[in-house]
């Protein structure tokens, strides 16, 4: 059982890289917006009810996959490194898989701001993330969180054995997915 956590700031390419990695491996993609988009018609993400439901659905899916005979999961996440709760969440998710004998791989993506701003408006992103279709709002949120949180780790901050950091400003999603697959020898 494998869990690949792909993390980085908004519009860095986590979902798209995850989709390519899913094509190349036996892992299933569970990008973070799958639960956000499910809950959003009832409770906006960021509200107490919305956050609780998103967390509940994610946890149940993680537990079922970790206990199954599936090869594993690719999960995407925006990790704010200055928030202890985000560190705790990553540890919680990792523990679900490790407690069942699984291996967790941590992949951090980073990209130049201009590339992220362009990606924020891409038709592919907007197709899969309806809550991002108000591009003025999503761009303002991207810029606000860039200034409010630290969304990429500091040098040496992540000490996990299975950790890879990739600047994908000029790399295609296929190239990044291939690099992940080869580095961690994921079938």
The pTM of the full predicted model, rounded to 2 decimals, is 0.95
67 is written with which tokens? Answer: 């206990």
**Could you say which DSSP state residue 27 is in?**
P
CA distances from 111 to 16, 22, 167, 171 (A): 14, 21, 5, 10
* pLDDT interval class at 27 (50, 70, 90): very high
Q: Quick: pLDDT tens for 59-114.
A: 999 999 999 999 999 999 999 999 999 999 999 999 999 999 999 999 999 999 99
Cβ neighbors of 124 (< 8 A, separation 6 or more) are 16
54-61 long-range Cβ contacts below 8 angstroms, 24+ apart: 58/30, 58/93, 59/96, 61/30
d(CA 66, CA 50): 24
Q: Quick: pLDDT tens for 125-179.
A: 888 888 888 899 899 999 999 999 999 999 999 999 999 999 999 999 999 999 9
pLDDT of residue 125: 84
- Cα atoms found within 13 Å of the Cα of residue 87, Cβ hemisphere only: 11
pLDDT of residue 130: 83
Residue 82 sits at the vertex; the CA angle it makes with 45 and 143, to the nearest 5 degrees, is 60
pLDDT of residue 149: 97
Question: Dihedrals φ, ψ of 14, to 5°?
Answer: -60, -50
Place of tokens 């956050």: 51
| Least confident among 17-21, 68-72, 119-123 | 119-123
* pLDDT interval class at 45 (50, 70, 90): confident
Q: Is the pLDDT score of 124 beyond 90?
A: no
Average pLDDT of the residues in 44-48: 91
């Amino acid at each position: 059982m494998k869990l690949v956590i792909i993390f980085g700031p908004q519009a860095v390419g986590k979902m798209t890289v995850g989709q390519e990695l899913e094509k190349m491996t036996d892992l299933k993609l569970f990008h973070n917006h799958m639960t956000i988009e499910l809950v959003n018609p009832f409770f906006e993400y960021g509200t107490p009810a919305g956050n609780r439901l998103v967390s509940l659905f994610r946890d149940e899916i993680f537990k079922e996959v970790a206990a199954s005979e599936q090869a594993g999961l690719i999960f995407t996440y925006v990790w704010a490194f200055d928030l202890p709760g985000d560190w705790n969440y990553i540890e919680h998710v990792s523990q679900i898989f490790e407690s069942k004998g699984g291996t967790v791989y941590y992949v951090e993506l980073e990209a130049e701001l201009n590339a992220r701003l362009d990606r924020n408006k891409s038709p592919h992103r907007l197709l899969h993330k309806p809550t991002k279709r108000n591009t003025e709002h999503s761009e303002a949120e991207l810029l606000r969180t860039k200034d409010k949180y630290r969304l990429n780790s500091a040098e040496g901050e992540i000490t996990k054995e299975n950790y890879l950091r990739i600047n994908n400003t000029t790399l295609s999603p296929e190239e990044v997915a291939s690099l992940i697959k080869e580095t961690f020898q994921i079938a």
